[in-house]
Amino acid sequence: MIPVDVINWLLEPEDPSMRYRTMKELLDKSQNEVQETKSLIFDSDSVKTIFEKMHPEGCWLQKNPRTGEVTGDWVKYGALAS
């Protein structure tokens, strides 16, 4: 059993991704109960930081630290899947 103080920490509103997973995976809440939290994930600071590192054309590239060569398969990423 997970201590209540740990659950409360995981449910803090600052990280909607963690809050959502805690509600779904640890507390077994229904999709209706977690919908509001799920809707906040895309606009959260952590997700924005990740997407700021994406290439402007909407793909991920990787730079080889040894050669400096940039590679990627130009897979395009759209809005988060529902």
Q: What is the chain's pLDDT, residue by residue, as a tens digit (82 residues)?
A: 899 999 999 999 999 999 999 999 999 999 999 999 999 999 999 899 888 888 787 777 877 888 887 777 665 555 444 4
| Sequence-ordered list of residues with C-beta below 8 angstroms from that of 72, at least 6 positions apart, any chain | 55, 59, 60, 61, 62
Whether 79 contacts 42, CB under 8 Å: yes
pLDDT at position 75 is 55
Give me the pLDDT at residue 8, please.
Answer: 97
Q: What angle do CA 44, 61, 52 make, to 5 degrees?
A: 25
The per-residue pLDDT for 73 is: 64
| In the chain, domain spans | 1-43, 53-77
Q: What pTM was estimated for this model as a whole? A: 0.68
